[in-house]
Amino acid sequence: MEERKENNEIYSQKVKAGKRTYFFDVKATRANDYYLTITESRRKSKVDGEGYFYEKSKIFLYKEDLNRFVEAFNGIAEHIKKELMPDYDFDQFANNDSEEHGRSTGRDSN
């Protein structure tokens, strides 16, 4: 989805999930500092039923919060998988729609 590319975007991964798509984008500030944006894009029907529009929600994650965020996310995911839903097959929905390896946007990060 190249039209999304902004000049401060360094690296991106996309995960498709039904009517939702999640974008994980590494971006650079003017001072060459880096941060992560996580965008959830949801496809919704227009009120008149003629076509669709996309509703987006974003989280900005800065370097000083990255380790705590990853730790909390992994802890919650493990709790759900092992304690709350140990018999559920979370891999049943894994498919080729997710771009696991990501893509560099061609910007030199040096």
The first and second tokens of residue 104, run together, are 């560099």
Tell me the pLDDT band of 42, cut-offs 50, 70 and 90.
very high
Selected residue with higher pLDDT from 108 and 36: 36
> What does the pLDDT look like over 70-90, one tens digit per residue?
999 999 999 999 999 999 998
The pLDDT mean for the chain works out to 84
Predicted pLDDT at 87: 95
20-28 sheet: strands from edge to edge:
52-62, 34-45, 20-28, 9-17, 99-104
CA–CA gap between residue 72 and residue 66 (Å, rounded): 10
Q: What is the DSSP letter of 80?
A: I
- Angle of CA points 11, 14, 19, to nearest 5°: 155
Per CATH, the number for 2-94 is 3.10.450.700
pTM for the structure as a whole: 0.72
